Amino acid sequence: MLLFEFDCLELDLLLVVGPGPKKTRERLFNLAQRNKKIFRNSDEPLNRDYEWPVVFRTEFFPKYGAAEDSATEGRIQEKWANFVKNDLPALKNSIKSEKKFWET
């Protein structure tokens, strides 16, 4: 239902609400709308039939002016470590905090 993916054109890490039961998709999207500090880029409208709305987006690598060298690799590793340490736990905790919401 929730899917992380790298956007190879924008060089961003995305969290999208993928295919699944309509009710669950709407619940996930509404959760993101209520928690915009955690779920960045949750202003994208939810197309209930086809689209996979992006509920989280973070620039992972600058598109322009970056050389491919050991410094680039270091920046990528630093960004990943920051995501794993800060963003991922915040996203997980927000979803887990809605336990009563998922039991219906």
Contact in structure between 76 and 61 (CB atoms under 8 Å) = yes
Q: What is the dihedral of CA 36, 78, 73, 92, to 10 degrees?
A: -50
Task: Give, for 20, the enclosing helix (H) or strand (E).
Answer: none
pTM (two decimals): 0.80
Centroid of chain to Cα 10 = 14
Least confident of 23-37, 61-75, 84-98: 61-75
For residue 18, which amino acid is it?
Answer: G
Q: What is the pLDDT of residues 19-46, one digit of tens each?
A: 888 888 888 888 888 888 898 876 666 5
Question: Tokens 């630093």 correspond to what residue?
Answer: 78
When comparing pLDDT for 39 and 103, which is higher? Answer: 39
pLDDT at 6 over 70: yes
Domain that includes residue 9, residue range: 2-102
Contact in structure between 55 and 18 (CB atoms under 8 Å) = no
Query: How many folded domains does the chain comprise?
Result: 1
Angle at 18 between CA 37 and CA 93, to 5 degrees: 35
Contact in structure between 41 and 54 (CB atoms under 8 Å) = yes
Percent of the chain with pLDDT over 70: 77
pLDDT of residue 28: 87
Q: What is the DSSP string of 65-79?
A: S--SSHHHHHHHHHH
